[in-house]
Structures are given as structure tokens and as C-alpha cells.
Amino acid sequence: MSGNAESTAYRSALEVIGAVEPRVANAIRAELADQRESLKLIASENYASPATLLAMGNWFSDKYAEGTVGRRFYAGCQNVDTVEALAAEHARELFGAPYAYVQPHSGIDANLVAFWAVLADRIESPTLKRAQARHVNDLTEADWFALRRELGNQRMLGMSLDAGGHLTHGFRPNISGKMFDQRSYGTDPETGLIDYDRVATAAREFKPLILLGGYSAYPRKVNFRILREIADSVGATFMVDMAHFAGLVAGKVFTGDFDPVPHAHIVTSTTHKSLRGPRGGLVLCGTELAEQVDRGCPMVLGGPLPHVMAAKAVALAEARRPDFVDYAGRIVANAQALADGLQRRGAKLVTGGTDNHLALIDVTGYGLTGRQAEQALLDSGIVTNRNAIPQDPNGAWYTSGIRVGTPALTTRGFGTAELDATAELIHTVLSRTSPGTNADGTASKAKYVLDPGVADRVGKQASDLLTGFPLYPAIDLG
């Protein structure tokens, strides 16, 4: 692929957009400039390829395609069928899964599809059976009342939020926390690691319908074989949300006990994080759950987004190439270089390191809240996000942690030397930041004071680091 073709594609696209609403074209240009200039360490972000991005900007966006491949509620879906089938085939082959559903619009949606599929599969509800066999209009009000009662107050056991779990794993701000009676398993207070014996005890006591594995901010491998054994011992369905680490599964960094696909009954993912695809979600499962999963739209999803499924097909094809294995390996090597570099300079990390794509800095070691640290880093050109740490003394808003991840910088070409240099920049900023005070003299959890000159100096060093690794080097917008 010539860089010329990519430049031409984007220049032409911006010219066409700019002729209608120049402010949008300008914002798109500005976004590329911002992304090129920032040292992006947000663990859930990446840079999709031009081919993936371009696959989304076309007339597939105009097509309605409710239903599944070959069985649509709209006419004229033959080309949507082609891209949906391709995306599903690539997903199945890439992850070694019997079935793939590629319609979810996001990770949250993928989880909702999976929750519904498990409920429908597991709950002995005569009314539900009738509701699925017959047209919904045939059910009476009394039937619907019975259905709600039969679906019951089901239980889910997932990782606690402050140990790295996700809101969609049964927490109150998300509908999963309202649908399910949720209990969490945390991590060992000494080591910060999942204690599988405690998970087993919690499962025995709570007897969940769903045991949920997966995380947003846990810096270690998870042994999915053990979690499956625990699920089996209490008759739970074992679900894994691999949104964060799907790229490491695809790239064969997580294999054997650490690959969720052979162990879980159902696996969900996003496609845009370490997997480096378009924003979206997917569900993988065995053939037993496939029929329920296929009900995702219209059960919990709006019409599928064919343009995004086209982009998923492109990105998943990319992830099946041998160089993706190299990419995934470099993500982890880079995260370890960053973690080692931070610790060598005195930073405290949750679990003392990482074996995936992210690390969690406990910034109480610098006397800061996560909020103060996040802002001071941002002032210095380093983009991260604050994150709760286990038993966080500052709660979920201010937090005591900074989450850093390497998928994006690895896509840019950064290696371990640059991640070590990045650790130096982060440590410099955090050790030169102090907590600020409120107007009444009390300690603030948000205000901070950065030593004079640090933001400019570090910002310049960050920018120098990035210069050697241009983002989308082939794209010149002129």
C-alpha cells in the first residue's frame, strides 16, 4: 500500500467534508494533530490502521440489516451479509471459537447480549420458552408478569471494581448492577493478585448463575482454567470479558490456561482496544449458546452497523497476520519496561509489576490523588487516566491510581528504551507535583502544584520522543 494512496484518500475525504461543514473537517485535522503530538498511555486506546478506518466511512452506514447473515428483516442485505460473514469467520479463526457474533456496537452491548443469552439459556422459564417460540403479541399481561417472576433475581460473581473489574460486571451505575444480585471477588490485600481459593469460597457461598472473569485495570494474567473449574463446581456459567486483552489473546501472548476462549462458555470483547480495530464489540461462544446470542438485535441492540462490521473484518484480518503476534509480544515487553522503569525510580505499582499491557501506579507513594496526578501528567503532554486501586482510600472519583498501558505507543513503534524514557518522564512529573489546598486552607484532592518549568521541560522531552515515531507516517494532509 503506498502512502500516497492513504494521503490521497484522506485529503479527498476532508475536501468533500469541508465543502459541507468546514468546522468538522477542521476538527478531524485537529484530532490527528493532537493524537500525533500526545504521549498516549491510555490502556484502552490504540490507533487503528488506515484500512480499518476507511472501511467505516462509506455507504454501508446507510443500510439497515436487522437479523443475521442470510436471514434479515430488510431486503437487499447481500453485501452486508458478505462483510458480517467475513468478520465472523475471521473472529472464529483468530480466536479458535466455534461461533462469533460481530454485531455488538460496543463492549457494553456485547456484555448485554451475553447476559441475555445466559439468562435465556439457563433459566427454567416456561413462559420464556413460549415467548421465544411464539410471536410476542400472543402473550397476555399475565404471561409477562409470570416471565418477570420466572427470570428471578439472578446472581453474578465478578471482579470488584477497585480490583480492576468493569462497571458492566454487575455494578450499580450500569444496568447489570440493577439486573443482577452481584457479589465481587477482590484481590489479595498483600499481593494484589487474584486469590483463587477466595473466589472458590465466594462461589460456594453465593452460588452465582454467572461467574465473570475479565477486567479493565488488573495488571496480571488470569488463570481461566481455574476459574472454569470453580464455575463448574457450583454449576455457574463461566463468562469472560476480554475487552482489554483481546489483542494479547489474538497475538498468542495469552495461551493455555490464560486464553479464555477454550475455558469459558461465553466470551465478550471490544474490538478497539489492544485488538486495534474499530470501536465495537463481539461475542464468542460454543454452538449451544449461538441461537440466543443471535437474538442480540433486537433484544438489546439496535440495528447492526454494517460499516463497522466491514471495519471489524479488516482489523480481524490484520490480527490474523503473523506480524500481529510480534505486535502483541511487544505490547507486553513494553509494559514490563515501563513498569520496571517506574519501579526502579521509586514508583509503587499495584502487584509490583505487570504481565499484560497495563500497569497501575499507586500515586499515594507520591502523596497525590489519581486526579492530581492525571492532571499534572496531562499538563506535561502525557495522557493517562486515573483509576481506583484495591481498597482505594480516595474512592472512585479522585482515586489513588494512574493506569498506564502500551498498546497505542507500541503501534507507534515505541520499544523498551522509549518506554523506559517514558517512565523517567512520568516519575519526574509525579515527584515534582504536590497537593494543593482549597480556599479555606484544607487539603484538596483535586488541586495540585507542579514545580515551575517541569511541565514545559517534560512536554518538550515527550514531544522529542514522539518525533522519532510519527503516527500514520504515510498520511500527509498537506
Give the residue numbers marked as catalytic: 64, 66, 241, 270, 273, 279
d(CA 368, CA 444): 10
For residues 9 and 50, is the Cβ–Cβ distance under 8 A?
yes
Which CB, 106 or 422, lies closer to ligand PLP? 106
Q: Binding string to ligand PLP for residues 311 to 330, with x set by CB under 6 A, is what?
A: --------------------
- Mark the segment that binds ligand PLP (CB under 6 A) among 237-245, 362-370, 433-441, 444-452: 237-245
d(CA 176, CA 159): 13
For residues 258 and 230, is the Cβ–Cβ distance under 8 A?
no
What's phi and psi for 453, nearest 5 deg?
Answer: 85, -15
Place of cell 494484589: 192
What's phi and psi for 48, nearest 5 deg?
Answer: -75, 155
Residue nearest to ligand PLP as judged by C-beta position: 107
Which alpha helices (H) appear in 96-212, and where do they start and end? 107-122, 126-133, 141-151, 176-179, 196-206
Instruction: Supply the minimum distance, in Å, between the C-beta of residue 186 and ligand PLP.
Output: 16
For residues 181 and 126, is the Cβ–Cβ distance under 8 A?
no
- Mark the segment that binds ligand PLP (CB under 6 A) among 5-13, 103-111, 115-123, 196-204: 103-111
Which CB, 108 or 230, lies closer to ligand PLP? 108
Q: Which residues between 205 and 234 bind ligand PLP (CB under 6 A)?
A: 214, 216
d(CA 104, CA 230): 28
- Mark the segment that binds ligand PLP (CB under 6 A) among 54-62, 101-109, 137-145, 367-375: 101-109
- Mark the segment that binds ligand PLP (CB under 6 A) among 100-108, 189-197, 377-385, 436-444: 100-108
- Mark the segment that binds ligand PLP (CB under 6 A) among 106-114, 327-335, 419-427, 443-451: 106-114
Which CB, 77 or 275, lies closer to ligand PLP? 275
Edge-first strand order for the sheet with 99-101 is 99-101, 281-285, 266-270, 237-241, 210-214, 155-159, 181-185
Burial environment of residue 228 by CB neighbours within 10 A (0 to 12, 13 to 18, 19 or more): buried
**Cα→Cα distances 30→37, 50, 471, Å:** 11, 17, 14
Which CB, 106 or 127, lies closer to ligand PLP? 106
Instruction: Supply the minimum distance, in Å, between the C-beta of residue 270 and ligand PLP.
Output: 4
Which CB, 266 or 347, lies closer to ligand PLP? 266
Q: Which residues between 123 and 182 bind ligand PLP (CB under 6 A)?
A: 166, 168
Instruction: Supply the minimum distance, in Å, between the C-beta of residue 185 and ligand PLP.
Output: 15
In what helix (H) or strand (E) does residue 91 lie, and over which residues does it extend?
helix 78-95
d(CA 267, CA 167): 17
- Mark the segment that binds ligand PLP (CB under 6 A) among 226-234, 239-247, 414-422, 439-447: 239-247
Q: Is 459 in the site for ligand PLP (CB under 6 A)?
A: no
Q: Is 332 in the site for ligand PLP (CB under 6 A)?
A: no
For residues 355 and 88, is the Cβ–Cβ distance under 8 A?
no
Which CB, 264 or 466, lies closer to ligand PLP? 264
In what helix (H) or strand (E) does residue 404 lie, and over which residues does it extend?
strand 401-405
Q: Binding string to ligand PLP for residues 273 to 302, with x set by CB under 6 A, is what?
A: --------x---------------------
Which CB, 357 or 445, lies closer to ligand PLP? 357
Instruction: Supply the minimum distance, in Å, between the C-beta of residue 243 and ligand PLP.
Output: 4
Buried b (16+ CB within 10 A) or exposed e, 256-276: ebbbbbebbbbbbbbbbbbbb
Q: Is 369 in the site for ligand PLP (CB under 6 A)?
A: no
Give the rounded distance of the alpha carbon of 463 from its chain centre. 27
Instruction: Supply the minimum distance, in Å, between the C-beta of residue 408 and ligand PLP.
Output: 14
DSSP 188-233: -TTT-SB-HHHHHHHHHHH--SEEEEE-SS--S---HHHHHHHHHH
Q: Is 108 in the site for ligand PLP (CB under 6 A)?
A: yes
Which CB, 268 or 334, lies closer to ligand PLP? 268
Grid cell at residue 175: 444496568
Q: Is 241 in the site for ligand PLP (CB under 6 A)?
A: yes
Which CB, 127 or 399, lies closer to ligand PLP? 399
Which one of 239, 243, 309, 404 is in contact with ligand PLP (CB under 6 A)? 243
| Number of residues this chain uses to bind ligand PLP (CB under 6 A) | 13
Terminal C-alpha separation, the chain: 19
Q: Which residues between 36 and 55 bind ligand PLP (CB under 6 A)?
A: 44
The contact set with ligand PLP (CB under 6 A) reads 44, 106-108, 166, 168, 214, 216, 241, 243-244, 270, 281
